[in-house]
Structure 1
Amino acid sequence: MNEKKWVRERIKSKLSLLESEKRTSYNQGILQQLQQLDEWKSANTIATPISFRDEVDTYELLTKAWEQNKTIAIPKTDFSTKEMSFHVITSLKELEYTKLGLLEPRSEEYRVTSSEIDLMIVPGLAFSKENGTRLGYGGGFYDRYLNDYTGPKISLAFPFQVIPTVPSEKHDVKVDKIVCPLQVITYK
């Protein structure tokens, strides 16, 4: 088994074993830390995935953003081209499940360009404490998209998702900050 696959499996296992009360506590801490960041406070348009499986919960993030009159853009993936685009939503009712179980915008309308996004919430399974390298699910969608994105890139992580180093390749894009329940790790 290659190193990336091994790390993915290890973190997926830890995510699935995280107790409900601990998960809730972690999610609340992460959201509180995120809202204190200047990048959050100054952002008008925030791009974020809808949490998938056992990831850090982004539903409360959406609610807080809408309460603060922020615009939310959600990714839509095209597996035939391996590309991703972001589309503004104003309600969870505008989402639908894809064949892989991801919640994505139902419509192709209201597309935003990377230059219109003020803050990018970048998902991942594991993150390098050393330098902000992230390990995703292996599709490369975010790495391709982030090549053209120049704004702040922030990931949300449970403490055990931040490990000393993450196996990476030349094309892997690093994040600027990792928000954990009790700390924010900054690289830029």
Structure 2
Amino acid sequence: MTINERKQALRKQVAALKRAHSPEVLAERSREALRRLEATALFQAAGCVALYHALPGEVQTADYLTRWYGRKQLLLPVVQGDDLILRPYAGPESLRQGAYDIWEPALSDASDDSAKPDLIVVPGIAFDRQLNRLGRGRGYYDRLLSDLSLPCVGLAFAFQLFDSVPVDAHDRRMTAVVTDEEVVE
């Protein structure tokens, strides 16, 4: 089996695991994963955090965006062509549905986009104990992370953490992986 076939098989396996959990269970697991993230030294030390607005089946971040807004400077990714750019989060009313129906800051906002994150928190399909990440396969986060030299934390449910995941040379390792059950560093 090729590495791409192994990646596709793992994506299907994780999709089935997500479907096995009710939205209510995933919401509670999301809250626990975010509580664990808040408790990390990386998060506590960061003045500016790049986060994401979750797709269905990802650790849900919307409530915590509201919670952290005003306490930390928050950045969210915006899909621009084949790349992600980070834009300031200015509250839920400043969001619009962008590519792939992801809620993101409107590019037309006159907000200051010169902020540089101290920490980036990223979703993924799967992570492993060596801090590798398997994404959706489009390479958006791989390209974004290749341009950034800062701590990266993968945020996931415990059932998305494996002993190993297939990786390519361009895949960036995380600094830590936070789940609803543990923090792997």
So what's the TM-score if we normalise by structure 1? 0.89
Partner of 1:70: 72
Task: Note the residue ranges of structure 2 that are not aligned, 5 or more in a row.
Answer: none
1:127-157, Cα deviation, whole Å (9 max, x unpaired): 012x111011111111111112111100111
Counterparts of 1:111 and 1:51, CA distance in 2: 21
Partner of 1:36: 39
Partner of 1:119: 119
The structural deviation recorded for 1:99 is 4.2
Across the aligned residues of Structure 1 and Structure 2, the Cα RMSD in angstroms comes to: 1.6
The structural deviation recorded for 1:78 is 1.7
The structural deviation recorded for 1:10 is 1.2
The structural deviation recorded for 1:18 is 1.1
Q: 15, 20, 23: which is aligned to 1:17? A: 20
Counterparts of 2:60 and 2:21, CA distance in 1: 13
Identical amino acids, percent of aligned pairs: 26
Q: 36, 51, 58: which is aligned to 1:55? A: 58
Contact 1:94–1:107 (Cα < 8 Å) also in 2: no
Counterparts of 1:96 and 1:61, CA distance in 2: 18
Contact 1:86–1:112 (Cα < 8 Å) also in 2: no
Task: Note the residue ranges of structure 1 that are not aligned, 5 or more in a row.
Answer: none
Contact 1:134–1:173 (Cα < 8 Å) also in 2: yes
So what's the TM-score if we normalise by structure 2? 0.90
The structural deviation recorded for 1:46 is 0.7
Change (3 A) 1:6 1:112: farther
Q: Does 2:175 match 1:169?
A: no
Q: Supply the AA of the counterpart residue of 1:89.
A: Y
Runs of 4+ aligned structure 1 residues displaced above 3 Å come to none
